[in-house]
Structure 1
């Protein structure tokens, strides 16, 4: 795991958990980094049940070993990380995913923030942050490391509140597409032409979107859409 050496011996006692009962699968693109992280975690007493450097192997090990946690590096498969999460969740509801990124892809991260990832870490974070992440997700919470939050801020992105996540999850794929086009400043006519639908159908979609988002009227769609644009995949 790049950028995390040097802090492996400084675990705060308040973040202690039953390490032997917390099974971990490490999935990273580079074999050396994967081996190093596995060894560091084992030295700290964590139950590392497997490692993988390819997505197919990662999914197979999740199905067979059913780990409590998967540290999934976004670079191992890019956008397929999200697809892997969907597939793994269908196979095993108990596994919790931590997304680790060293080469941030804003579109991927925006999608991941809407999905079922429980933890988010950036390469420049120390191992202390990973240990805190373990404790937090083991207790049912979500963890965003300081490095990851800074990364989002630098790119002008914000983390959605749980309420907004739930609201966006109510929208269909087509409704999200319409909201994104509205937030990009396209007129009703342009959107209708682009999606090959009638203006009346578009108006009905907008009304439904506003209702699902608890907005007073369609006039508020643009402002709302701008605030969540990066998450409208």
Structure 2
């Protein structure tokens, strides 16, 4: 479904583009936002391509985006939207509260992450906060992010390898500890293939060609020891 609502894009107030492939949820979200003074739902989309097209045409202040779209990964959609118009504020509203999805969305440029099930007030305040330039998270996600970054701050390799994502740094640390790919996958509850993809990225970013070279770089930076304590 693609819908451009009357009055866009030249409207006063806060313009919002809604992106979700569940019509009933979209109806509920629209119903929550429309009665609010100063809110204008300028368009609605149910696929990534529709979202990108409407975003380019309508230039909304805020995009409320579900990550689970049928035709593209949600984080890739965030990147495409912000590549086209960096000033847009993207607020994720998703069924998933998986740490990997949250971090990937933040790295792609989202300004907030709410879990579906958030009440009407949280969503309204979230959109307002996003439009005002703030960051907004569901309470449970905010607490987990706090714990995650507190733990990450204690990892010595963070300063040595700023080019690595938190997940890549975590995997490099486990490699330096001597874990093989299957053990890493089991520990992090991800697939062997995902581990290998991350390792490929790590090798490319560190300009090394094999595991032994990566281990040397990691241990020289202080990874792989008892002090590098990622959460198990």
The TM tier, using the shorter chain, reads 0.5 to 0.7
Q: Does 1:35 align with 2:40?
A: no
1:5 alignment partner in structure 2: none
Q: CA 1:176–1:143 in 2, change beyond 3 Å: closer, same or farther? A: closer
Q: What is the TM-score with the length of structure 2 in the denominator?
A: 0.66
1:223 alignment partner in structure 2: 228
CA contact (8 A) 1:79 1:108 kept: no
Structure 1 residue aligned with 2:67, among 74, 93, 105?
Answer: 74
Larger RCO (alpha carbons 8 Å, 6+ apart): 1
By percentage of residues, which structure has more helix? 1
SS in 1 for 2:228: helix
Structure 2 residue aligned with 1:199, among 206, 212, 226?
Answer: 212
CA contact (8 A) 1:24 1:49 kept: yes
CA distance in 1 between partners of 2:103 and 2:163 (Å): 16
Structure 2 residue aligned with 1:183, among 174, 198, 202?
Answer: 174
Please state how far the C-alpha of 1:49 moved relative to its aligned partner.
Answer: 0.8
Task: Name the count of aligned residue pairs.
Answer: 193
Please state how far the C-alpha of 1:53 moved relative to its aligned partner.
Answer: 0.9
Q: CA 1:159–1:38 in 2, change beyond 3 Å: closer, same or farther? A: farther
Q: CA 1:100–1:182 in 2, change beyond 3 Å: closer, same or farther? A: same
Please state how far the C-alpha of 1:112 moved relative to its aligned partner.
Answer: 1.9
Unaligned runs of 5+ in 1: 1-18, 211-216
Please state how far the C-alpha of 1:92 moved relative to its aligned partner.
Answer: 0.4
